[in-house]
Amino acid sequence: MNPFRYERASDVASACASAARPAAKFIAGGTNLVDLMKLQIEAPAQLVDITRLRLDRIEETADGGLRIGALVSNSAAAADMRVRRRYPLLAQAILAGASTQLRNKATTGGNLLQRTRCPYFYDTSKPCNKRVPGSGCAALEGLNRMNAVLGVSDNCIAAHPSDMAVAMTALEAVVETIAPNGSTRAIPIDELYRPPGDMPHIETVLEAGELIASVLLPPPPAGRQIYRKVRDRASFAFALVSVAAILDLEGERVRAARVAFGGLSYKPWRSAEAEAALVGAPATRATFDAAGAAALQNARGYGRNDFKIPLARRTLRATLTQAAGLA
């Protein structure tokens, strides 16, 4: 690990000012960053410890939503009875990720900003445009079964690893930030992540020193919420494919639907195509298969991850079948 200067921030303004310096980084739970620092994939010259800032509360909003502070641990968010009752999708997704030890440490803001687990991002002996811009992408022709099939480029096919963010995307969460100049922004979570394009090392729209203060959950939409994750082990493994679905039925027809996938793209992948195929249609296997076909129509496999395309279609069908009460 490279040496770094350590600073314990006591207020948001000084934290943002410090983190705006070159090679400075915020640290909260540290479960991802410390690991990457040991491997010298991350080598910040300064760490700004924000864990003493009072961003660790979950508050009701006037319209019936919740505001989750950036420092609320993943465990605390999943254990909160308001989250469990009104946003079971989110509790399920958080609990599907990592282990209890990691969730106790990992924070809401940090979970959103965790880096990909692409094996070539971790292997410093191999090219990776995300780790060393311009060096190439070893995953394109490599062991890419965990990599993305939607929305990526030939410069980078890394997948975003979060479960929590997939549920938040289906819930249309809003990421609330504070910049070093004191200005605030409300960023729809679907607009937080930048497509890799030709600059895969720049992963979000956040500016230097801009701090995630909270995540706003709008009031829960009507319908049954389900998070389903497919992985290589029953527990403590990243998703091959996951689906966050919210399905609202009127009789046997779909009144409203939200669909987001994990494991398929550089970000949680909200599928407007799948939702359009569902709304107004009968809640049947044929409709769910049509939604899956629509969602994956532009997908592209890179060899060892080709299986993700049919797997995503089938996982969506299984999730919607369960949400419709047909399973």
Partner 1 sequence: MKEFLRSMATRRWFLKTSGAATLTLASSPSMAQPAAETPPLSTEHVDLTINGRPYALDLDPRTTLLDALREHLGFTGSKKGCDQGQCGACTIIVNGQRINSCLALAVMHDGDEITTIEGLVEEGVLHPMQAAFVRHDGFQCGYCTPGQICSAVALLSESRQGWPSYATADVATAPALTDAEIAERMSGNICRCSAYPNIVAAIREVAGEGSQ
Q: Closer to partner 1 at the Cβ: 51 or 284?
A: 51
Distances (CA, A) of 98 to 234, 236, 324: 11, 5, 28
Nearest to 166 by CA among 184, 185, 193: 193
Q: Closer to partner 1 at the Cβ: 98 or 309?
A: 98
* Alpha-carbon torsion, ordered 315, 318, 322, 326, to 10 deg: 170
Binding residue (CB under 8 A) for partner 1 from 15, 16, 47, 246: 47
Q: Closer to partner 1 at the Cβ: 78 or 174?
A: 78
Binding residue (CB under 8 A) for partner 1 from 13, 56, 104, 201: 104
40-67 burial, b at 16+ Cβ within 10 Å, e below that, comes to ebbebebbbbbbebebbebeeeeeebbb
Nearest to 217 by CA among 167, 150, 163: 167
- H or E stretch including 224? strand 224-230
| Ramachandran quadrant class, 235 (left: phi over 0; alpha: psi -120 to 50; beta: rest) | beta
Number of residues that bind partner 1 (CB under 8 A): 44
Q: Closer to partner 1 at the Cβ: 102 or 290?
A: 102
Binding residue (CB under 8 A) for partner 1 from 54, 62, 63, 81: 81
**Alpha carbons 259 and 243: distance in angstroms, whole number:** 7
Binding residue (CB under 8 A) for partner 1 from 10, 100, 183, 298: 100
40 contributes a contact to partner 1 by CB under 8 A: yes
Tokens of 103: 């969730």
Binding residue (CB under 8 A) for partner 1 from 9, 55, 72, 96: 96
**Alpha carbons 9 and 48: distance in angstroms, whole number:** 6
Min dist CB 6 to partner 1, Å, is 4
Which residues ranging from 197 to 236 are in contact with partner 1 (CB under 8 A)? 234-236
Q: Closer to partner 1 at the Cβ: 122 or 153?
A: 122
317 contributes a contact to partner 1 by CB under 8 A: no
**Alpha carbons 176 and 213: distance in angstroms, whole number:** 6
20 contributes a contact to partner 1 by CB under 8 A: no
327 contributes a contact to partner 1 by CB under 8 A: no
**Binding residues vs partner 1 (CB under 8 A):** 1-6, 8, 22-23, 27, 30-31, 34-35, 37-38, 40, 43, 45-47, 49, 51, 75, 78-79, 81, 84-85, 88, 91-92, 95-96, 98-102, 104-105, 234-236
